[in-house]
Chain A
Amino acid sequence: MLHDLFSFVRGPMVWIAFTVFTVGSLYRLISMWRLAKKKDSVIFNYFSIFFAIRSIGHWILPFAGVNMRKHPAMTVVAFLFHGCLFAVPIFLSAHVILFKESWNISWWWMPDMAADIMAMIVIGCCLFFLGRRIFLKEVRYLTSVSDYLILAAVAVPFISGVWAYHQWAAFQAALVIHIVSGEIMLMIIPFTKLSHMLFAPFTRGYMGSEFGGVRNSKDW
């Protein structure tokens, strides 16, 4: 039973997840682009690559903006979180090997020890975010059930991944949970608040263009 399930999530489900993620992301980007063309043509008139990059540059450099300096813990956590969130799944040896076995392509992978630590960092960061949602009143006020679910959707693949890697109790089940939850996370990116992965460069870039090109001022 577990074996059948494993074969499914390890096989067809991966295809489904990557397809939903890729097609979904393209769909969201293209449909948003078309909507913007129709209703927000102003964006295209004022968008400036130079000022967009200037703004994005300041926001992807830790502590480059005033608000990042005002919240040092959040800044450190947010950068660690996003860095590890991307690096671990892409450069984990186990994942690279899966690609190698399936498509005979491979790339650099990181030592397992490093991946293990980074995965734990992601989990720690998720706990930090959870703490913010529970204990900071300005965050709690904005938080709804979906915000907790999204956080869980990101945390579970890492928790189960670490679990499976260390072969703790019932690690085979943990492995299935790891794969399924990872696939779910991938699939919901285009359709939930995780879509900030797709859209944040555009919102930041547009605001950078308005501030730089029209307002002659900084937006960080």
Chain B
Amino acid sequence: MTKQSPANIATIPDEGVDKGGQRLTPEQVTRVIRRMFEEEGGARLKIYIETCVHCGLCSDACHFYLSNNKDPKFSPAGKVKQTLGIIIQKKGRVSIDFIKKASEIAFTECNLCKRCVMYCPFGIDIAYLMLFMRRICHKLGVVPQYIQDTAHSHSVTMNQMWVKEDEWIDTLQWQEDEARDEIENLRIPLEKEGAEIFYSVIGPEPKFRAQLIYQTAVIMNVAGMDWTMPATPGWDNSDMCMYTGDDEMAARLKKVHFEAAMRLKTKRIVMGECGHAFRSVYDVGNRHLGWKMSPLPLIHAIEFYYELFRDKKLRVKQKYDIPVTLHDPCNVVRGGGLHELARYVINETCSRFVEMHPNREHNYCCAAGGGVINCGPPYSKKRVIGNKVKADQLADAKARGAKIIIAPCHNCHAGLEDIVKYYDLDMEIKFLGDIIYECIDKT
């Protein structure tokens, strides 16, 4: 197995970045950067850059740094130095090649997981700075092709995966049909006005993880929940535009999502097991729309499952007996504090639980989130090499017996799958929903 440090690899070719760069002139670059600083660079940007005393204490927070032989180029402050640091030093007079490299750093070497915020004595928000860099790249049109394509899908279809409206409805009906073999008269209620729960998922669920919708339908029906999904755009709660720096689109997406829930007069939104979507709906998109918190009550699947067990709506037939460990996703744990609730659900459903270390807020990121995995195959090797520390952490949990990794987040799921495969860990990754579906009494 090669353990080549990505630092030794030259800038990775990416059509989106390369072609975007070709369309630019150095004058445009300077003009756009200066305008960004003038219009959007406020007190946070200024203070974060000015007060960082270059102590290097953020380094140990970052999985990219820890995994790449502690190469300082991958430390959080190191990434700021190579991007915004130089831009500020040169007053925006940077080359197109510089922007291309900066785009690679901001988009593929930082998961915006905010672990470093907990390691910086001043609480400097590196993720904010990386997002600022990404927004500059977005305005310059120098964004990795795969994630930009996702953002295009968002702007055309209001979902992440180019799913057409009829395909969405068809997928739900297909899953309803399938699930009726298991539970008689099961319903996936579409467009039910006044339902208590508006259930939303991310684009990839109907696209290639339709069984998750099946499982949710079973859980909802067994628990006797009053729920619905919309037949119109707004069903997708995901948001890659938030990560490409396209804040305007991010706001539009959340508007459509919230409005779908409100049009159906539902009482609250329950989201599937996705981390970035939770960040988008709970923390970011609402702010773009001028809402301090989301305009109607909103909970992540972890919290929902917790409620179902707490209120005895679900009954466990037989606890899941294969030893499990839990990966705490940054967006729902460091971003939502759902770690104890996730453990509650695991204790209700699994008989053997092995903690991985570090855990909870201090868990290592999957290296897929923050839009990094969405930058696609060109960067996948760099991504898995850049998270060897996660592989070590998983191997340690495995050595203590864990066979299954529970990851209540889509990006984590995909990222961990790559890591497990690359480092030959031979572990299986599951959603909480998978476990619940398997062990509840469905009669």
Contact = CB atoms under 8 A, between A and B. Distances in A.
Nearest to B82: A141
A143 B54 contact: yes
A214 B336 CA distance: 7
A43 interface: yes
Contact of B123 (A43, A74, A207): A207
A211 B292 CA distance: 15
Contacts of B65: 138
Nearest to B292: A45
A30 to B, nearest CB: 12
Interface stretch (A99-107, A109-117, A177-185, A195-203): A195-203
Contacts of A216: 336-338
B334 A215 contact: yes
B358 to A, nearest CB: 8
A66 B124 CA distance: 16
A214 B362 CA distance: 17
A203 B51 contact: yes
Most A-side CB within 10 Å, residue of B122, B338, B362:
B122
Most A-side CB within 10 Å, residue of B43, B65, B336:
B43
Interface stretch (A5-13, A34-42, A156-164): A34-42
Interface string A187-220: 0000001011001101111111001001111111
Contact of B117 (A142, A143, A195, A219): A219
Interface string A120-144: 0000000000001000111111111
A32 interface: yes
A216 B335 CA distance: 7
Interface residues of A, number: 52
Interface stretch (B73-81, B94-102, B142-150, B185-193): B73-81
A126 B201 CA distance: 54
B391 to A, nearest CB: 21
A216 B81 CA distance: 30
A interface: dominant SS: helix
Nearest to B282: A214
Contact of B72 (A65, A67, A138): A138
A204 B121 contact: yes
A59 interface: yes
Given A142-B77, A195-B50, A200-B51, A132 B123 contact: no
B57 A67 contact: yes
Given A193-B53, A195-B51, A203 B119 contact: no
A70 interface: yes
Contacts of B338: 216
Contacts of B333: 217
Contacts, number: 136
Contacts of B263: none
A189 B124 CA distance: 19
A71 B60 CA distance: 10
Interface string A30-56: 001101101110110110000000010
B138 to A, nearest CB: 19
A193 B52 contact: yes
Nearest to B89: A144
B343 to A, nearest CB: 14
Contacts of A203: 47-48, 51, 122-124
Most B-side CB within 10 Å, residue of A67, A203, A207:
A203
Contacts of A132: 55-56
B224 interface: no
A39 B48 CA distance: 15
Given A142-B54, A142-B81, A217-B334, A67 B47 contact: no
A190 to B, nearest CB: 11
10 contacts: A32-B46, A39-B42, A147-B53, A196-B53, A199-B50, A203-B48, A214-B293, A215-B283, A215-B334, A217-B337
Instruction: Across the A-B interface, give the 5 residue pairs with the lowest CB-CB distance, nearest first.
Output: A216-B337, A39-B42, A207-B123, A141-B72, A36-B43
Given A59-B123, A136-B56, 19 more contacts: A35-B42, A36-B42, A38-B42, A39-B41, A40-B42, A43-B43, A59-B121, A65-B118, A138-B72, A200-B51, A202-B47, A203-B124, A211-B334, A216-B337, A217-B333, A217-B334, A217-B335, A217-B336, A220-B118
Interface of B: 40-44, 46-48, 50-57, 59-61, 65, 70, 72-73, 75, 77-78, 81, 117-119, 121-125, 283, 287, 292-293, 333-339, 361-362
